Amino acid sequence: MPVSERLGSSIKRAEQALSGAKNAALKPAGLTVPQYAALLHSSERPGISAAALARACGVTPPTMNTVLKNLQERGLIERTPHEWHKNILEIRLTDEGHAVMENADARAVRVERALAAEFTDEERASLVGLLGRCAALLDSVRPDGP
């Protein structure tokens, strides 16, 4: 099967372009895309665990631990023991973390809005549906499941 006919190549190219655009947009905020994603999800779910955050961001737990270590060293997050499960550390943004996340989010939203503007409302809805079908099918055929 020629590369030009492989949907995976087109999907990967789009994902790489999006990642590159977001990396460039986030660089002035001093964040990488994984760091931004961790701050964004943590801001929406204060007290989230590292394992849940890794799942939300689509990275492995060891990768997330590295991201969290860097964010903690910069004073952007704090990790405190859960009230009942002392072996689980809850993640919360610090005041500085909120400020950095808001700056970074404004930059990332500009990329998202530019991308969305390339499509009509119907095209966006169709694209979201088609990508959802791709993900569902690929999850279902994975030997280890989703």
- Res. 145 pLDDT band, cuts 50 70 90: low
Beta strands per DSSP E along the chain = 77-81, 89-93
Convert the pLDDT of each residue in 115-137 to its tens digit. Answer: 999 999 999 999 999 999 999 99
Mapping DSSP onto H, E and C, the string for the chain reads CCHHHCHHHHHHHHHHHHHHHHHHHHHHHCCCHHHHHHHHHHHHCCCECHHHHHHHHCCCHHHHHHHHHHHHHCCCEEEEECCCCCCCEEEEECHHHHHHHHHHHHHHHHHHHHHHHCCCHHHHHHHHHHHHHHHHHHHHHCCCCC
Q: Which helix or strand (DSSP H or E) is residue 113 part of?
A: helix 95-117
Convert the pLDDT of each residue in 78-99 to its tens digit. Answer: 998 877 766 778 999 999 999 9
Number of residues written out for the chain: 146
Compute the distance between CA of residue 97 and CA of residue 103 in angstroms, rounded to an integer. Answer: 10
Question: Quick one: average pLDDT of 56-81?
Answer: 93
pLDDT (0 to 100) of residue 72: 96
